[in-house]
């Protein structure tokens, strides 16, 4: 019986979805997959449905009507995972930027090494970024410095989207208080965990830019991050993310 759920949010990932699901299943029986698809016009969900016919016990899908953002997709996935009693709940992109084999290390960090949040980190010692244009590395690394400076969080890669949470983290946070829907969601989840006193560990990974499909990154998302993180920090003086 799998104790780990890998949540993969998708919007138009037909080139990647079959292979990424197979890569997770190949890691062994500890891992199941939940795809959260936002009505991808390219038919991503149909591909998942046909895989579910072969692995109805290991692959699951949540279908949402329209593109509602990465953050809300993950929150929906978290509630699903908690309800189904998974012990370890992971986040991963569909596009192979996050090496699926590293899921084993992220799970081990939580299962064996006492982490409550394990972050697949590009900017910790041993981590790396491959094939990203220089401006994208610059924005991402700059964002990491900005977040660390503002929040005091000792996490080298606070925007990372490759994470494994122990269920106790997700069940004790009030997920309704997570405000961000775009990339800043990743920052806010780590900040909420940090502020609530959970143990965060970074596991070095090599992040590789996608070779298939296209990125959903946009200028609006960057704006949300810059001003949003300031606001997040300010609000944190007055409220906690823990359930009352
Ligand atoms: N369900 C859902 N998935 C999304 C949304 N936006 C992005 N994604 C998925 O989130 C993951 C990260 O997005 P991606 O385009 O790879 O971003 P990048 O790697 O930062 O360029 C991918 O698996 C996307 O398909 C969304 O609004 N809803
Ligand atoms: Mg990506």
Q: What is the DSSP string of the chain?
A: ---EEEEEEESS-TTTHHHHHHHHHTT-TTEEEEEEE---TT-HHHHHHHHHHH-TTTEEEEE-SS---HHHHHHHHHHHHHHTT-SEEEE--SSSSS-TTHHHHHHHHHHTS--SEEEEESSSTT-EEES--HHHHHHHHHHHHHHHHHH----S-TT---EEEEHHHHHHB-GGG----STHHHHHHHHHHHHTT--EEEEE-EEE--SSS-----HHHHHHHHHHHHHHHHHHTT--SB--
The pLDDT of residue 218 is 67
Distance 61 CA to ligand 2 centre (A): 19
Q: Which atom of ligand 1 is nearest to the CA of 215?
A: 15
The Cα-based distances of 121 to 74, 200, 202 in angstroms read: 19, 11, 6
Residue 83: the pLDDT is 98
Whether 107 contacts 32, CB under 8 Å: no
Decide: 185 and 70 in contact? Cβ < 8 Å. yes
What's residue 214's pLDDT? 87
pLDDT digits (tens, 9 = 90+) for 99-127: 999 999 999 999 999 999 999 999 999 99
Q: Is 217 in the pocket of ligand 1 (CB under 6 A)?
A: yes
What pLDDT, on a 0 to 100 scale, did the predictor assign at position 57? 98
Please report the domains of the chain, with CATH numbers, ordered by start residue: 4-236 (3.90.550.10)
The residue ranges of the chain whose pLDDT is under 70 are: 218-220
Pair of tokens at residue 202 = 């970074």
Predicted pLDDT at 1: 84
Given this model, what pLDDT does residue 219 score?
63
Whether the CB of 69 sits within 6 Å of ligand 1: yes
10 lines ligand 1 (CB under 6 A): yes
**What would the pLDDT profile of 135-148 be if each residue is shown by its tens digit?**
888 888 898 999 99
Measured between its terminal Cα atoms, the distance across the chain in Å is 32
Residue 186: the pLDDT is: 95
**Residue 215 beta carbon below 6 angstroms from any ligand 1 atom:** yes
Name the closest ligand to CA 216: 1
Q: Which atom of ligand 1 is nearest to the CA of 94?
A: 23
pLDDT score recorded for residue 74: 97
Tokens of 242: 């823990």
Structure confidence at residue 222 (pLDDT): 75
């Amino acid at each position: 019986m799998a104790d780990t759920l890998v949540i993969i949010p998708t919007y138009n990932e037909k080139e990647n979805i079959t292979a990424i699901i197979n890569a997770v299943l190949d890691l062994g029986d500890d891992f199941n997959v939940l795809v959260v698809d936002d009505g991808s016009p390219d038919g991503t969900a149909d591909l998942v449905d046909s895989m579910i016919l072969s692995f109805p016990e290991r692959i699951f899908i949540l279908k949402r009507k329209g593109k509602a953002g990465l953050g809300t997709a993950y929150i929906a996935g978290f509630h699903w995972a908690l309800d189904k009693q998974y012990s370890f709940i992971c986040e991963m992109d569909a596009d192979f930027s996050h090496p699926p084999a590293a899921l084993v290390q992220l799970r081990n960090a939580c299962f064996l090494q006492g982490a409550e949040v394990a972050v697949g980190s590009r900017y910790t010692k041993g981590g790396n970024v491959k094939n990203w244009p220089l401006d994208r590395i610059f924005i991402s690394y700059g964002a990491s410095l900005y977040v660390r400076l503002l929040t005091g969080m000792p996490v080298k890669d606070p925007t990372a989207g490759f994470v494994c949470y122990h269920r106790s983290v997700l069940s004790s946070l009030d997920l309704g208080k997570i405000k961000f829907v775009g990339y800043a969601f990743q920052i806010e989840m780590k900040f909420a965990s940090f502020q609530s006193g959970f143990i965060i560990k970074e596991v070095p990974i090599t992040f590789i830019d996608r070779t298939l499909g296209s990125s959903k990154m946009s200028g609006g998302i960057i704006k949300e991050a810059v001003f949003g993180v300031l606001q997040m920090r300010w609000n944190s003086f007055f409220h906690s993310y823990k359930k009352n």
